[in-house]
Amino acid sequence: MLTGESVPVGKCVPAVAEDAALGDRHSMLWSGTLVTQGTARGLVVATGQATEIGRIGGLLARVEQITTPLVQQMDHFARWLSFLILLAAALLLAYAYFVGHRDFAETFMVILRRTDETGSLSDICMVVTPIGRRQGLPVFDLHAVE
């Protein structure tokens, strides 16, 4: 008995044809398969990109990245927000160093920590997207906000 499927299944001994469909390869084990009962010997028939997982990885690498209007607007907003945060941090650093006569390295580290604590754009998007949907805005396709 083996896992790797939704439930443990039994495998058979006879070999299958090399061009057999994936679902008809009853005697083959796949990456991540665990033996739950019995014993067996195996023969590695493919590694790396020659495996089914490798083939799927190759197909995924060729998928074209789509950019929705929402993602484009969020990217534009993120660039401006990042610029404004960096500008404010630079002005605060200059003021603290030249006017307040603070130590440059210490002030820089404090500003860096505070800038990082202000919250990330993904948090903002996770809050704003449902609000836009409730107001009837066309928010159809947001692949992932990480």
pLDDT in tens, 18-28: 788 877 777 78
> What six digits make up the tokens of 5?
């499927």
Does 65 score more than 80 pLDDT? no
d(CA 37, CA 62): 39
> What six digits make up the tokens of 129?
């997207």
Query: By three-state DSSP, how is residue 56 classified?
Result: helix
pLDDT of residue 127: 60
The predicted model gives 57-68 an average pLDDT of 81
Q: Which of 36-40, 84-88, 98-102 has the highest mean pLDDT?
A: 98-102
d(CA 132, CA 138): 8
Is the Cα torsion angle 66, 72, 74, 75 positive or negative in sign?
Answer: positive
d(CA 31, CA 17): 20
Q: State the pTM of this model.
A: 0.41
pLDDT of residue 8: 77
Closest of 14, 9, 7 to residue 38, by C-alpha: 9
Which has more confidence, 125 or 32? Answer: 32
Which residues in 65-84 are b (16+ Cβ under 10 Å) and which e? Answer: eeeeebbeebeeeeeeeeee
Q: Which of 9-23, 31-45, 67-81, 90-104 has the highest mean pLDDT?
A: 90-104
Instruction: Count other Cβ atoms within 10 Å, centred on residue 96.
Output: 18
pLDDT of residue 116: 62
